[in-house]
Amino acid sequence: MAEPSLPPRTRMTPARRAVVDAVAAYDGSFTVVQIFDVARSAHPGLGLATTYRTIELLRRSGVVHPLAAAGRAAYVRCRPDHHHHLVCVTCGGVEETDLCAAPSDAELKRRHGFRAQAHELDIYGVCRRCA
């Protein structure tokens, strides 16, 4: 997966670099506090607030995605193209899938007069390894 990047015209500071590197090292879901613990060993002056703000910057540039229903403030690395997440509630692992059952834009337009721009869907369950 491509290296996570900050939005354009955002200054890369050593503290932000430590957070971005810590995010880059995660495969499954992670919390801000987990990232903070990893990043702080690379950059001891790092604060939790900076960690939150940097992850928010990554969220805005679409390279991390918040997992709303994970029951804790968890995130996963992401990419901008269309896919959904299969989140394992046992191990925290996250798989991406191209499967999508969202109503088509045309159907939404016809039935609701609604012009769809985007949709989000995360599926929670137990992965193949944990089953």
Question: Contact positions toward Zn ion, by CB under 5 A?
Answer: 78, 88, 90-91, 93, 100, 102, 127, 130
Distance in Å, CB of 129 to Zn ion, minimum: 5
Whole-angstrom Cα distance, residue 39 to residue 33?
Answer: 10
CB of 109 to Zn ion, least distance (A): 17
Smaller CB separation from Zn ion, 14 or 107: 107
Residue closer to Zn ion (CB basis): 33 or 91: 91
* E-state strands within 1-131: 30-31, 64-67, 74-77, 84-88, 94-97, 122-125
Q: How far is the CB of 67 from Zn ion (least distance, A)?
A: 10
Q: Do strands 84-88 and 122-125 pair parallel, antiparallel, or not at all (unpaired)?
A: parallel
Q: Which amino acid is at 99?
A: L
